[in-house]
Structure 1
């Protein structure tokens, strides 16, 4: 029986927000991910240990196997979320841990939690593999979201992702631009709440069909574009459309108005990573402004 699982992290290069409503998005799995290991015990309990990228425990809990009630936990809120997730797994697979005499679960992240590469989605996909349930159903019932992050967890190549009639349509694509040495991921030193960002998106009034068509067209062009200047134009166009839709300034106009090249938000606007076009010299610009986490495309994308 398999006892160790691993899932890839994710970054959504195009389609943020609009992907929820059926726009085509371009997403890449990352070299960073999360593993989950299950060890059999005789304790009659489920002992959970979550380790960060430094090997330090960031969450611990002891749960009962009947209903996964919390016996002890280092963080009550996280324990409540974990219990709900485990119970959803058991709803899908009633035999899950039904005859277990005890288990210890150790999860290990390859990336800092603040990076936003999919702490939850990698966990969900690992748990789905462990329990032999559908990861997309587990995500939908436990957290919601489009599911592109689960798709990245399962794929080792860039993908296009689209919801059609609520079901994911996933295609692996050959997104390996010849100018990739000019692409960098810059972390904004803060984590953005996807839940709040989506709620703000839902409040806006706009023509949904126009948005979906525009974003899907940009995604299709980004996949095959091999001219860096034109790719920058697509990044700028995507930013302008989303800025108008969300009624939020672009990250470039808000934080980096004098940066000479294109910048694009990734995921929930206001946090996590941005995609920057630049080179080793221009990246001194970000370091000078206090943004020290800068990962080249080739060191981030799987």
Structure 2
């Protein structure tokens, strides 16, 4: 059995999506594969995870009690087993005790990029286990679940959490000025689960901010010009900077940028979306001077 799920980025609505704001999300051209082989046996699971073709984690486990026989990383193994248990609760027939399973996964991007190594794996695991990816995600993590929805999408979409689930609505986000949009790796991987937990501890509901961010999500997707798009990016940054009590990226690290830049997902690391108003061949020098070497164009990265 072969499975494939896409990576993701959250263009707008970071953090406040957890409180019910409408966000703009995009699936990526890069994702994660999973291959599962089954043979009659004594109920063992052999798991092997690769990143860009290079092995980084293995696990041998007994299916019956989710007992670890051996592993290369006990912390990763415990997280994975937690997800397997969640899938088993949703589908008790998952992981037969008379079958040996051999699972091989491979990421098409580096884990530290924040493109969804966990969410693409959860989406693959949901398909293999015959469970609902959103329900599995909600049992396994404290995130909004937009990322496992993105894993199965082929175009951008609006995402909104509701009391009993979510709403996902396709969005037309393929701007004519997309050759001026870049996705830049800031080089500081953030733990999204920790960021989520920290924000959820805040009791405030942010009703005015949710309304404004929800409106900006649609304005960003529908912006007719780069100038409008940059204005909406800046408005989004102002709101979220106040919510998080954190300086925005432009004032903090990119004051000399002739354009706008906003974080995607957890503030402080991972990727940012940047507009560029200079000659395209000058961007590598500009970013190199910031200590940045990894970046993508819109068409290279976004499935739209």
Aligned-partner Cα distance in 2 for 1:130–1:195: 24
Q: TM-score, normalised by structure 1?
A: 0.95
User: Quick check: 1:259 aligned with 2:254?
Assistant: no
**After alignment, is 161-170 or 233-242 more displaced?**
161-170
Answer with 162-171 or 227-236: which moved more. 162-171
Distance in 1 between the 2:59 and 2:286 partners?
43
CA deviation after TM superposition for structure 1 residue 42, in Å: 4.3
Is 2:142–2:193's contact at 8 Å kept on the other side of the alignment? Answer: no
Give the aligned partner of residue 281 of structure 2: 280
Give the superposition deviation at 1:281: 1.6
* Compared CA separation, residues 34 and 117, structure 1 to 2 (3 A): same
1:230-284 deviation digits (Å, cap 9, x = unpaired): 1000001101100011000111111111112100110000011000001332342
2:89 corresponds to:
91
Residues in 2 aligned to 1:167 and 1:260: alpha-carbon distance in whole angstroms: 41
* Equivalent residue number for residue 29 of structure 1: 27
Distance 1:165 1:184, change over 3 A: same
Find the counterpart in structure 1 of residue 78 from structure 2: 80
Root-mean-square deviation (CA), in Å? 1.4
Q: Any idea what the Cα deviations from partners look like across 1:158-203, whole Å, max 9, x if unmatched?
A: 0100012241100112211000000000001121112332344345
* Aligned-partner SS, 2:283: coil
The answer for the alignment partner of 1:190 in structure 2 is: 188
The answer for unaligned runs of 5 or more in structure 2 is none
CA separation in 1, counterparts of 2:201 and 2:54? 40
Mapping 1:234-273, distance limit 5 Å: 234-273=232-271
| Secondary structure of residue in 2 paired with 1:41 | strand
Find the residue that maps to 2:190 and give its secondary structure.
Answer: coil
Q: Aligned with 2:144: secondary structure? A: coil
1:123 aligns with 2:121: yes
Contact 2:49 2:105 in 1 (8 A): yes
1:231 alignment partner in structure 2: 229
Aligned residue-pair number: 299
- Structure 1 distance, partners of 2:9, 2:114, is 9
TM-score by length of 2: 0.95
The answer to whether the 8 Å contact 1:67/1:87 transfers is no
Moved more, 176-185 or 94-103: 94-103
The match for 2:49 is 50
Query: What is the match of residue 14 of structure 1?
Result: 12
The Cα offsets for residues 135-161 of structure 1, whole Å up to 9 and x where unpaired, read as 111111111211110110011110100
Counterpart of 2:149 in structure 1 is 151
Show CA shifts across 1:7-65 (max 9, x none). 00000000000101110100000001001110123453100000111x11100010001
Query: Is the 8 Å Cα contact of residues 28 and 301 (structure 2) preserved in structure 1?
Result: yes
Q: Gaps (5+ residues) in structure 1? A: none
Aligned partners of 1:206 and 1:245 also within 8 Å: no
Give the superposition deviation at 1:225: 0.9
Contact 2:142 2:196 in 1 (8 A): no
Q: Give yes or no for contact 2:12–2:217 (8 Å, CA) kept in 1.
A: yes
- Are residues 267 and 258 of structure 1, via their aligned partners in 2, closer, same or farther at CA, if it must alter by over 3 Å? same
